[in-house]
Structure 1
């Protein structure tokens, strides 16, 4: 009867920006945040962020895990994982450790993977090419 949403962090939700809320300015905090409204400004969060289908963020985001079903126009720095769900749109550059893009999701930007293994492989490859 009810369909379970993958992007909802119900039991750990600390803050909610509802569908009828518009915020202009910088947001900082810790815990878990869900955005279903409109934010114009940067978000710096020590925790996880879910941008719901009606959520729109025009600014840069820095957080641990980020799940996107709405829209982000700005750069994203995710310490652990960024997931763009089928209804999600991200226009901007990203830095992530793990990146998942579902079918029909939209991403327009550059991606930098944050991993020591990638850095080591890149350094090793450069050294081998210079021989």
Structure 2
């Protein structure tokens, strides 16, 4: 009755996955793709994706990430460039600098680095402030 409710917000949204790096798979080198990718294994190298990138709790990336929406529940040691949104979940660890339009960090999510909001967002905020005056 008074127990803790499970929150569906603590995990990446269900989405179509075009590519999956399995938990037992380790890749060394750059990974590029057009669609959405989920990483359950380990990558030593950059990940450049035209879609969304999901790093599961078992996923580890030693390299830079670039994608539209990036969801981190695992570990990333590298810089992140999210064209839209970066979400760092409670089990997520991110050590590196980020460039992002929208940023969400849940309680216990760990981020060490520098955050830069992209110019598009800065421009929109400035326009909203000018309109409000």
* TM over 0.5, shorter chain: yes
Q: How many residues align?
A: 119
In 2, Cα distance between equivalents of 1:116 and 1:45: 20
Give the structure 2 partner of residue 7 of structure 1.
12
* Greater strand share, structure number: 1
Question: RMSD of the TM alignment (CA)?
Answer: 1.9
Partners of 2:29 and 2:67 lie apart in 1 by 17
TM-score between both structures, scaled by the size of structure 2:
0.83
The TM-score, its normalising length taken from structure 1, stands at 0.84
List structure 1 runs of 4+ shifted beyond 4 angstroms.
Answer: none
Q: Compute the displacement of 1:8 (Å).
A: 4.7
Structure 2 runs not aligned, ≥5 long: 1-6, 127-133
Gaps of at least 5 residues in structure 1 are 122-131
Kindly indicate whether residue 114 of structure 2 is the aligned counterpart of residue 110 of structure 1. Answer: yes
Match of 2:53 among 49, 52, 59: 49
Would the aligned equivalents of 1:71 and 1:88 in 2 still touch at CA under 8 Å?
A: yes
Asked if residue 63 in structure 1 is aligned to residue 71 in structure 2, the reply is no
1:88 aligns with 2:96: no
Maintained 8 Å contact 2:91/2:108: yes
**Which residue of structure 2 lines up, in the alignment, with residue 99 of structure 1?**
103
Query: Within 2, Cα distance between the matches of 1:117 and 1:40?
Result: 31
